[in-house]
Structure 1
Amino acid sequence: MAVPYPSSSSSRSHPFLSHVYHTSFHHHHHHNHPSLVLFWCLVFSLLSPLALSSSSSSSSSSSDSSSSSSSHISLGIGETEGTKHDLHQAILRDEAVARLHELGQVSDAATHLERTFMSPASIRAIPLIRGWMEDAGLSTWVDYMGNVHGRVEPKNGSSQALLIGSHMDTVIDAGKYDGSLGIISAISALKVLKIDGRLGELKRPVEVIAFSDEEGVRFQSTFLGSAALAGIMPVSRLEVTDKSGISVQDALKENSIDITDENLMQLKYDPASVWGYVEVHIEQGPVLEWVGYPLGVVKGIAGQTRLKVTVKGSQGHAGTVPMSMRQDPMTGAAELIVLLESVCKNPKDYLSCNVQCNEDTVESLANSLVCTVGEISTWPSASNVIPGQVRQRNYSLLCIYVFSLLVL
């Protein structure tokens, strides 16, 4: 795989940004996709200020006319002569949904969607996404961590860029909208601007990024793609191995991406070159559907902790060791799982404050703390053997998404 890299004269960045928007989207399973249409109204309302182009020599009437036209094109509302009010449904709805389904078929498994970092399915997804980006008029490249970039540089735009995107990797047995929605929606929005001849009128560069890793499934290390661009990924993480003993660096080299300590550092974006970041994402929870809203603006992001816990006991024959003499780590692990669930459901019953917290902290945890044991394994894992040890992976969130619900 060719790995073109932007020239040093083209400054690109991505750390913690001054303008960050994260939109959660609930997909209704309906032929006309009403939520998708409402979602496009929101995305274009964010992009429209970037697409407005005015000249200092223009008259106020001309400016008002231009602004009105842009508003109608961007939001797809109202019917005035000479403006398009169908939201370009062939692209923003039909083609976007078709691409979501197409990318959802790119999987390493035959029976479910599974596309982990640098897996064969991920490699097949890269040219597909690049092709869609180029179809929207973007210049594309793949960086040293496998992130796919598509960028448009307006002729008279500022140097600070708006970044839009999401992740292209998935969990095991994933939904087809997770991550993919943010990538495809961004590409579709820019494609409409291209068709309207407005791509060159953007006030600043716009870059779409399909991050190679967010889920952390393969290497149990999340955000490999975005962490590299943010400059917070330690070089040591290149040596982390998967269950087959293949390191991150090896996985990249197997796919003709020759990453080194030096060029990993080169991936860091300069914060001064980024105006903001927008990501559209499905909610992945039941809240929006429960309250009956199609969209919500995220005001807080979840902070997660992953732990691997090993419970050791005394291995023995399941049919001969008396119950009174057993030290069964499986039952111990089960008790820990139940305790963990109780702590997350009723943290006030278990947590107490010291000098580093107050009652408000405990109260906030009572409304937001969640936890799950998502993976458990035993040794030697035989039906007639008391296990010698049990390993479990815990996943906890210190806060949940907080929504500002939109009535549309």
Structure 2
Amino acid sequence: MRSPIPDYLTEVLDVCGGDGGGELAAYIPELAEADPDRFAMALATVDGAVYGVGDDDVRFTIQSISKPFAYALAIADRGLDAVLEKVGVEPSGDAFNELSLEVGTGRPFNPMINAGALTVHALLDDERVRRGFSAFAGRELEIDEDVFTSELETADRNRAIAFMLRSHGIVEEDAQAVVEGYTRQCSLLVDVKDLALMAATLANGGVHPVTGQRVVPHEVTRHVMAVMATCGMYDAAGDWFTSVGIPAKSGVAGGLIGALPGQVGLATFSPRLDQHGNSVRGVQVFERLSSDMGMHLMEVPPPARSLIRERTDLPGDREGEGWVFELQGSVNFVGMERVLRTLADEPPSEGAVVLDLTRVHEVRDVGRRMLLEAVRRLVADGHDVTIVDPDGMLEAFPDDHADGDVDAGGGVEVPVLRRR
């Protein structure tokens, strides 16, 4: 069966493609020559499926969409505290190229405006940017030299920002070199499928969905997507997040990305921009996707099913000797809180207790700690506890496929089986 998803995405392009509003980024001569009718979009899931429609093979420069990825690389290399000393995380409410800094600190307000992006780039080097961005895309990226030259010739405002940053001691490197490097970063060529995969890598906790390469640590992506949510769409960030609700970043070449944690990376390309510097038709596509597919980050999901799928007697000739608790879904804080409450309100009678993780697809760190605490307390109450973990998701379980024990704390060692 052919997937209906490309048909749906094509339908969205058709609906949103009639809007001819907006203007090209005429202040950069090379971008002023872009075909205003180009229109494409792509969707990449966190398990590696990629769908592209429209002009999805047309390459364009990444521009300001580079900002969250450079920010991620800088945090991965330097550490969050070191980066925060140089650039803040507060929405500025200003245009992307505003010459404004925090009073008292001299820091740029956030890494998504040009002042912050120049500061972040000064923490990297050109080769690190190229290699890092290529890892995010899953292929080698190249620079559009014509756009680079054209943009550098008209980069006086960025030069003014860089010299201002240097005067405050935020940037220590040569201001001209920082502007040149940042302009080169913005001139990397991508298409919408590249961008969708780059966004999906953020959404996938820093692991590329296709190559499987860990590009940046999980905690880095959480921070970056939070800043994208509050600052990624410049002075339209508030309107964007209330109406669309997807952490996003735009670029003046007409690209626009969104990263929905744990789900998908999205990208559109349409060169006509609104007064905020965001793609007119790209914004419409995201509004449609958010509405149709329930992608708003604040969309209230239905109540989660109980983590306890079933509570039964031990099978076979051990019937009546204890209980089996079959868990399902994600072992996280909310799920384990319900398990602990159930065990407190309806404690198992004397005998063995089996905690079966066969239907569990994820064990979060906090969930694992709560699970082991439940085990420790069950043992303290006199129960003989066994954990069934066929996929070996508990961190302390041996790498091989032999049965082993897990340390529940307090000197309690509990058997862990690959099968019940």
TM-score past 0.5 threshold:
no
In terms of fraction of residues, the more helix-rich structure is 2
Q: TM-score of the superposition, structure 1-length normalised?
A: 0.26
Q: TM-score of the superposition, structure 2-length normalised?
A: 0.26
| Higher RCO, Cα 8 Å, sep 6+ | 1
